[in-house]
Amino acid sequence: MTPLPDSLQRSWQMAALSRDLRDKPLARTVAGTPLVLFRDATGTAAALTDRCPHRNYPLSEGRVSEGVLQCAYHGWRFRADGACVEVPGCELEPGEDRRLAASPVAVRELNGAVLVRLSPDEVDLPDLGPWGADDHDHFWWSQGVWRGRVLDALENVLDPFHTNFIHDGIIRRSGRRMPVGLSVLAGEDWIESIIDQPQPDLGWMSRLLEPPRERSRTRLYAPTLVQARWEGPNGLTLCVTVFFTPVTETTLAPYACFTTPKGRGPGWLKEAAIRMFLEPVVAQDRRALAAQLDNIERFGAPRFLQGPGDLLGARVAQLYQGQRIEPASEGPFEHRL
């Protein structure tokens, strides 16, 4: 199987929802690295690699007291920065707290997301516009761990043509299409697909739920962060920010935050409606990613062909690998969706 690229170590990856990280240690794997998350005495999120430096015991099986994580095997205690502050039954010599330290991982917590960065490089998150903004409603929808490759999930979410088929009737329709203009915009470390269309999609989800639509845009921020925005004549109607966290080479954990302008109904109602309508769509994509991976494994390696609708071409894979791409502005091209 294709090994995970180094770009995943250098970027911020979502490890958990804030609301899931409470007073117990939480085990999470990000880009192949097992981690333990916990909160220090001030409530600040912390992460260590999930291996006690003493005898390799999983730290996630330990417990947290006064913001310090205690290994369940011999009771060594570790601070958020990894320092070993106690070896039960023994005195620590000066400097031993560092010699016996666990390995810390960079953490930041933002808008309900606990993010980790495995390598010490100083990369930042892109500006994600309305994500987390006070004058919008937000809710998180975490999807558990899926079987599939992150790269295939990125291709899926950036590709509108599968929506007429896999989501036939729900999002778009295979038997009835409308003319759209497709454009591509790219910077060195992002690429965006833009769809201009005269009305919402022809599937029943859009027809029942969606206010007038003029344009939708989906942007990939290298290597694995995607934000999609739907816009009508009065501006933004919906924004979805998805952290596609690679777990291992063959599994991923998508975390999606749905953002809507305040005003059109209470937040809880919008959340209930979006969840109800999107549930089957999410299940269809989840099944597709697993089937794709099963077949890649059956043949031993992936092989991709770019068709006339694949306007982003190989650039999604390049960004995922951490490569820079040429800034571009292409289209609009006429297609039918």
Q: What is the DSSP string of 140-157?
A: EEE--PEES-HHHHHHHH
Q: Which one of the spans 67-75, 110-118, 168-176, 245-253 is the region binding ligand FES (CB under 6 A)? A: 67-75
User: Rounded distance, CA 53 to CA 40, Å?
Assistant: 19
User: If binding is defined by CB under 6 A, does position 85 make contact with ligand FES?
Assistant: no
**Of these, 239, 285, 312, 315, which contacts Fe ion (CB under 5 A)?**
285
Closest to ligand FES by CB, 71 vs 220, is: 71
Structure tokens at 90: 């023994």
Residues in the interface with Fe ion (CB under 5 A) total 1
Residue 57 partner contact from ligand FES, Fe ion, none using kind-dependent CB cut-offs of 5 to 8 Å: ligand FES
Smallest gap from residue 29 Cβ to ligand FES (A): 19
String of contacts with ligand FES for each residue 148-167, x by CB under 6 A: --------------------
Encoded tokens for 11: 């970027």
Long-range contacts of 28-35 (CB under 8 A, 24+ apart): 29/247, 29/248, 30/116, 30/118, 30/245, 30/246, 30/247, 31/4, 31/118, 31/246, 31/247, 32/4, 32/246, 32/247, 32/248, 32/249, 33/105, 33/118, 34/58, 34/60, 35/105, 35/116
SS3 state at 332:
strand
| CB of 103 vs ligand FES, minimal distance in Å | 13
**Which one of 19, 22, 55, 264 is in contact with ligand FES (CB under 6 A)?**
55
Closer to ligand FES by CB, 53 or 148: give it.
53
Question: Does 152 contact Fe ion by CB under 5 A?
Answer: no
Residues that bind ligand FES (CB under 6 A): 52, 54-55, 57, 71, 73-74, 76
